[in-house]
Amino acid sequence: MGFGLSHPVSSKQLYRAGNTNFRVGMATMHGWRETMEDAHSVILSLPKHNDVAYFGIFDGHSGSLCSNYIAEKLVKDVDDMPDLFNEAALAKVCMDCDQSFLDSDDYKNNEDGCAGIFSLVRVKGDGTFSTLHANIGDSRTILARWKGEGQGYEAVACTFDHKPTDQKERARIENAGGTVTLQRVDGQLALSRAFGDRLLKTPRDAPGQDRKVTSNPDFTTFEATGKDFLLLCCDGIYEADIFDRQDVIDWVAKKLETTTDLAQVCADLLDECLSRGSHDNMSAMIVEFKNGEAYATDKPQYIPGPWYSGERDAKFQSAYAADALAAGYTLEQAHEMRKKIEEATASMNTESQ
């Protein structure tokens, strides 16, 4: 909710998950925002569809209620479907989930929203995987397709940003009585599709897909092999053209040449984006199609970032403390952990001299 911090909160949470079919690493960072508004879902085997995994990132704006609600509820609604890969039915589930948020008494006065991406991955008996990718907004999913030894990976776009200036999006917005002003819906929202955003979900009596801002997703489908991987990221990875799709896949692939820790690669990616000028919350997830049983951990790893205590750092300190608390640590514990990191770094620098 704004960029009012004197310094970015560069603390990170690293998540590691895996089963016989998937190896997943993820990292999140608060960044320059006053609040952390991203949420995510990782379900390696859906309860009612054991051969399908679900991976999602939900990038909130103007608050975190919508992103957290959708991250928790949508996967349950999807799992209730008889055929998860029926795109028309899946689109309806997305719009119905959005409407349940808008109709909830708990959120009736809430006006925040979120972009959302999620991937359904079906394990096939021949060692390959069927993937379906849904997009509402401007987060991105990329399939890194292995081209062969010495050739690296091809970045296959699984999602395309929903912007009000796109011809198809502008037509829907204007047909619904809206305008595109300053490249935003009614001069307010830089996305043309999103969950939440109550005031822009008009006309209220129109079908969900015909509203000014809709939660009707676009879909793509691809086949994948054990040599490929998925990268799911919020738009904080790409803002101001920090990375394009092929650039970020090449960057990640180079890191994977020297480490198998997917979560650490994601964390390094967030640090890189911060250094290149990203001002948003950041979330990145890598999904490999290989056995990850030995990789999984019971709880996220919290890595506290630098602390600042100048006269203008009150908002930073408040955001830092909230970020630590969300990770399950008090501010005092975060300080102690940070102290050990700095001592270890100083020791390594001394030894290398």
How far, CA to CA in Å, does 77 sit from each of 47, 66, 145, 240, 307?
12, 16, 30, 35, 41
Please give the pLDDT value at position 1: 43
Closest CA to 23 of 269, 297, 235: 297
Query: In this predicted structure, what is the pLDDT of residue 27?
Result: 98
Answer yes or no: are the C-beta atoms of 41 and 282 closer than 8 Å: no
Per-residue pLDDT of 258-305, as tens digits, reads 999 999 999 999 999 999 999 999 999 999 999 999 999 999 999 999
Q: What is the pTM of this model?
A: 0.97
The predicted-structure confidence for 226-266, as pLDDT tens digits, reads as follows 999 999 999 999 988 999 999 999 999 999 999 999 999 99
What is the spatial distance between Cα 79 and Cα 71, in angstroms, rounded to a whole number? 13
Q: Which of 4, 51, 42, 36 is nearest to 262 (CA)?
A: 42
Q: Is 194 strand, coil or helix?
A: coil
> What is the rounded average pLDDT for all residues in the chain?
96
Phi, psi of 267 (to 5 degrees): -60, -45
Question: CATH fold of 11-297, please?
Answer: Phosphatase 2c; domain 1 (3.60.40)
Give the residue carrying structure tokens 């501010």.
331
Residue 78: its pLDDT value, please?
A: 98
Q: 102-146: per-residue pLDDT in tens?
A: 999 988 888 999 999 999 999 998 989 999 999 999 999 999 999
Kindly report, residue by residue over 172-205, the tens digit of the pLDDT.
999 999 999 999 999 999 999 999 999 999 999 9
C-alpha–C-alpha distance, residues 103 and 214, integer Å: 15
Residue extents of the structural domains in the chain: 11-297, 304-353
